[in-house]
Amino acid sequence: MITNKDLKMCNEQIFSYSAAYQVPFFGRESAIEEMQELNKNLNPAETLVISQPLGTGKTFLVNYMISSGKLEVPTGASFLTVRGITEEPESMEAFPGDTLVVDEADIKTTAKKLVKGLGMLAEYLEKSGRKAILLGDYSLKNPNISGELEKTVSLMKFGDMDKAFLKGVLVERFQHFLELEEFQIEEVMEEELLDYLAPEWMKSVNSFRGMFSLLQQVVANEKYVRHNSEKAYLTVEMVRDFLCNDDDMQLDIEQRKFFELFCDYMKEMYPKGNGITTGFKVEELYGLAKNGGIDKSLQEFAEDILYPFATADLLVSTGVPEYEGRGSSFVRRPAPYVPSLRLLLSLM
């Protein structure tokens, strides 16, 4: 039996979503096989691009492949970043080995530095004849950004994080950190909670960071998991209650009004998220706001409500970040949107 004390003791390791802890690697066999093949056939000045949402395990995958000798990159080498390249171009020359690894080509970096950094990378690779592996989010699907790199190949088989994948990751970690031989994740986690954490319709954007940061906070809270020898068991209701009492969600009057409108709409049309496929367009959500008495232009609605909701992790953007070139705005989290785990659990 896994106790509350056991779970608290290994909370940050089991639900780790950063490089702070060394955790066992699980799955993504197809991605590993494809990446090895692509890397082996990479020509001088070419870049292997991995473009996936934030928090889905790109860096973890590459680190695993390096440490296990599946990529010819020196173990322990600190990855470059696109922003770092713009500030210290000489860092590319100093990176060990024939293949540079460049991270954070994503919405955390300004569009100006993304474009400049990728341009500098392309120029350096052409001059040096070296190769690169580039990790970023869907910003790299925008040709006005990724077009700075002319010679690229893309990883296609990264693998979505569905319920089966999540269960495999959790079982591997529980067995490793609690030294268990036989273990079923349902022993410590309600099946319905697993359904909420990794819904099928959201599998392409499900993230370790979103799921595991929430679980860490719940387990750390003495209200839900006390430091005792009772059997550990995490439920949907436990997580929902935590979110309902979380003071971090600060909304103004109109944002709160839209939040309530959207929740009512979801409960009526998509209970528990069932039926959601491609997500919601701006015009659809704007119509909901107008019918609910929110008097704003479409542009004001997007800037004052939708984008802040996406930034606050209430809505998850599944679109390609918008950028039309020098001087234009960088829309980091565009439509379509799906409700986040945080919002979905608050609908109960």
Report d(CA 120, CA 104) in Å as an integer: 15
- Give the list of residues 6+ apart from residue 243 with CB closer than 8 angstroms, or none: 214, 342, 345, 346
pLDDT of residue 246: 63
Backbone φ/ψ region at 202: left (φ over 0), alpha (ψ -120 to 50), beta:
alpha
Q: Yes or no: say if 224 and 238 are a contact pair by the CB < 8 Å rule.
A: yes
Residue (of 265, 52, 24) closest to 138 by Cα position: 52
Report d(CA 290, CA 81) in Å as an integer: 42
- Give the list of residues 6+ apart from residue 284 with CB closer than 8 angstroms, or none: none
What 3-state DSSP class applies to 49? strand
Report d(CA 310, CA 321) in Å as an integer: 12
Beta-sheet strands, E only, within 95-215:
99-105, 131-136, 152-154
Report d(CA 339, CA 310) in Å as an integer: 9
- Rg, C-alpha atoms of the chain: 22
Tens digit of each residue's pLDDT, the chain (348 residues):
899 999 999 999 999 887 767 888 888 899 999 999 999 999 999 999 999 988 888 888 998 889 888 888 888 888 999 999 999 999 999 999 899 999 999 999 999 999 999 999 999 999 999 999 999 999 999 999 999 898 999 999 888 888 889 999 999 999 999 988 888 999 999 999 998 888 877 777 788 888 898 899 999 999 999 999 999 999 998 988 888 776 556 778 888 899 889 988 988 888 877 788 778 999 999 999 999 999 989 999 988 999 888 888 888 888 899 998 887 889 888 889 988 887 887 776
pLDDT of residue 130: 94
Question: HSE of 8 in the Cβ direction (CA atoms, 13 Å)?
Answer: 15
pLDDT of residue 204: 77
The pTM of the full predicted model, rounded to 2 decimals, is 0.85
Q: Is the dihedral of CA 148, 153, 156, 161 positive or negative?
A: negative
What 3-state DSSP class applies to 132? strand
Sheet with 99-105: strands ordered across:
80-81, 99-105, 131-136, 47-51, 152-154
